[in-house]
């Protein structure tokens, strides 16, 4: 998994809850030598120790996520990082990007979107219970009302994918095509 002679790549995959980030991330990982760090691996670990929502919870969560991303970058590991972005999270995004760029790597941003009605339909899927994800429409509606989880990350060009119009496999293929095109363009500038 470590690639000492190659630049590590981070795919920063973001979007609202229940949009399919983990499913798409796994579809990407199936076809490439890439690992997945999805937001609930860290969220659930921190929630075992600290009450969700208190300031120390969010501080610890950011530190755990950044430590894992930084370690992966230093090891030359390609990584898909899933995240629910909302305005106010820019500093965390900058820290994650810096971790990969400091290791000589690159970052590709991909935003998944789907209408709220589709998210409400998906949120009750049984697979979401495995990682203690939001599983009811009322909780999802609270998140959608309190946070702009449809916002694009400012200052970062993102490939936007409609998660309803494409299957996870089609989305993964589109992301791989986008990365290959970016790599070819970067090679052309070198």
State pLDDT tens for residues 41-75. 999 899 999 998 899 999 999 999 999 999 999 99
Show the beta-strand stretches assigned E in the chain. 9-14, 35-37, 79-83, 106-113, 158-162
Over residues 6-24, the mean pLDDT reads 93
Residues near 61 by beta carbon (within 8 Å), at least 6 away in sequence: 42, 43, 46
**67-76, 125-134, 153-162, 167-176: the lowest-pLDDT one:** 125-134
Res 189 pLDDT > 80: no
CA distance 55 to 48: 15
More confident residue, 5 or 117: 117
Decide: 100 and 73 in contact? Cβ < 8 Å. yes
Res 8 pLDDT > 70: yes
pTM above 0.85, yes or no: yes
Would you state the CATH architecture of domain 9-184?
Answer: 3-Layer(aba) Sandwich (3.40)
């Amino acid at each position: 998994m470590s690639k000492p002679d190659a630049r590590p790549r981070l795919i920063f995959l973001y979007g609202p809850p229940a949009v399919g980030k983990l499913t798409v991330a796994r579809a990407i990982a199936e076809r490439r030598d890439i690992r997945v760090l999805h937001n609930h691996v860290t969220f659930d670990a921190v929630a075992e120790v600290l009450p969700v929502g208190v300031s120390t919870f969010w501080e610890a969560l950011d530190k755990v996520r950044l430590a894992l991303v930084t370690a992966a970058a230093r090891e030359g590991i390609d990584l898909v990082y899933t995240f629910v972005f909302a305005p106010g999270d820019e500093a965390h995004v900058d820290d994650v990007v810096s971790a990969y760029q400091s290791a000589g790597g690159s970052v590709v941003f991909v935003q998944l979107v789907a209408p709220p009605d589709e998210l409400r339909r998906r949120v009750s899927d049984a697979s979401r219970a495995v990682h203690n994800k939001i599983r009811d429409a009322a909780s999802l509606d609270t998140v959608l009302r309190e946070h702009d989880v449809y916002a694009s990350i400012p200052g970062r060009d993102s490939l936007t994918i409609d998660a309803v119009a494409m299957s996870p496999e089609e989305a993964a293929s589109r992301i791989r095509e986008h990365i290959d095109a970016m790599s070819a363009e970067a090679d052309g500038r070198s």
